[in-house]
Amino acid sequence: MMAQRRGWQSSATTAALYAFATSLSILFLYPYWWMCLGMFRNARQVTGDPLRLWPEQFDFSIFAEIQRIGGVSFWQYVANSFAITGASTVLGVVVTAAGAYALTRKPELPGFRWLRYGFLVTIMYPYMLLVIPVYIVVFKLGLLGSYAGIVLFLALGPIQFFLFDQFFRTLPREVIEAGICDGANEAQILFKIILPMAKPILATVALITFLINWSQWFPILVISRSPDTFTLPVALLAMNGELGSNFRGIMALAFVTTLPVAVLFVLAQRRVMEGMAAGAVKG
């Protein structure tokens, strides 16, 4: 009797916990659903019943209306987003991997400790405020309004560095020493021995860098001279700032801005969450 009752109580607790966790998850996901509904519903329908859970109609006409935003084609923003995010991710992964490898492999070399400290200072500086002097630097380099200026600035990031740093630190020394004994030169050690072992971490860092850089907007806005180099988040911000806001257009653009990273995250959820936690813990 007693055991039975306790079992009933226990499953009631489990059910309550499930109910609570599920409602919390639904609250967190609701803004996405509301955003999707907002693409299909016109202003009168939304103000009449903001809580409706299913659209009156599946009306995709808004995508035809936002074919041009701020004088630039919608597809240009999409292309910019993929090009800028992709290029800065590839550049960032290669540069950070090589740099972190050298810094952890030979920390005693002259200047290496200073470089590490210098990098740490850089990431402590409030990012939003770093962008202001970066504008001056990019101006002096003559890269204002160029893709190169944006991509170069976005390439480095703290989580990326800490993930590689942590990986190279835990790499067994014997692996490298065996290579040296076999007469391999440093380039061979890097490309033939380290790189194959580093594939999983390269994939994790690439994934996380892509997600982070896709979301960037402020450096892109500051370095750009015109909307021609805007990415989707910057275009969305510009649209959000216009007078007489176009609610449906904003929701549709927010949807397009969110979709690629949401899909990527759902496909690689474990790698993303574990990678971000690991990168933060070492930092």
Partner 1 sequence: MPAIPVPTRLQSAVEALDLAWRNRVFYLFVAPFAALTIVFGLWPIALSIQVSLTASASALSPNPTYVGLANYATVLADPIFITSLWRTLWYAALAVAANLAFALGVAILIDSPRLRAGSMFFRLAIFLPVVTPDVAGYVVWRWLYDRSFGAINAAAEQLGLPAFGGLSSVDTVTIAVLIAELWHHAGFYMTIFLANLAMRDRALEEAAAIDGATVWQKWRFIILPQLRPAIIINLVYATVQFLKTFTVVVVMTKGGPAERTNFVSYYAYQLFDQGRYGEATAMASLLFAIVIALSLGAFKLSEGRGPK
| Residues 77-116 contacting partner 1, CB under 8 A | 94-96, 98-103, 105-106, 109-112, 115
Instruction: Classify residue 157 by burial, with Cβ atoms within 10 Å: 0-12, 13-18, 19+.
Output: buried
Cα dist from 3 to 8, 9, 123, 177, whole Å: 9, 10, 57, 61
In the complex, least distance from residue 72 CB atom to partner 1, rounded to whole angstroms: 17
Task: Compute the least distance from the CB of residue 200 to partner 1, in Å.
Answer: 17
**Does 38 help bind partner 1 (rule: CB under 8 A)?**
yes
Helix (H) or strand (E) holding 5: helix 2-40
Nearer to partner 1, 58 or 114 (CB): 114
**Nearest distance from C-beta of residue 40 to partner 1, angstroms:** 14
Choices 20-28, 55-63, 68-76, 174-182 (CB under 8 A): range interacting with partner 1: 20-28
Query: What's the angle, vertex CA 29, arms to CA 23 and CA 35, rounded to 5?
Result: 135
What are the contacts of 269-272 at 24+ separation with CB within 8 A?
A: 271/203, 271/204, 271/207, 272/207, 272/208, 272/211
Q: Which stretch binds partner 1 (CB under 8 A): 25-33, 59-67, 165-173, 174-182?
A: 25-33
- State which of positions 113-142 bind partner 1 (CB under 8 A): 115, 118-119, 121-130, 132-134, 136-137, 139, 141
Given 87, 156, 201, 206, the residue binding partner 1 (CB under 8 A): 156
Other beta carbons within 10 angstroms of residue 162's beta carbon come to 20
- Show the tokens assigned to 104: 């952890």
Contact range with partner 1 by CB under 8 A, out of 16-24, 69-77, 165-173, 197-205: 16-24
Partners of residue 73 on adjacent β-strands: 68
Residue list 232-271, contact with partner 1 (CB under 8 A): 232-234, 236-237, 240, 247, 250-251, 254, 257-258, 261-262, 264-266, 269
- Restricted to residues 172-191, the positions that interact with partner 1 (CB under 8 A) are 185-187, 190
Measured from the CB atom, the residue of 72 and 261 that comes closer to partner 1 is 261
Among 9, 12, 25, 60, binds partner 1 (CB under 8 A): 25
List alpha helices for 141-268, DSSP H.
Answer: 147-154, 158-170, 173-181, 186-188, 195-197, 199-215, 218-223, 232-241, 247-267
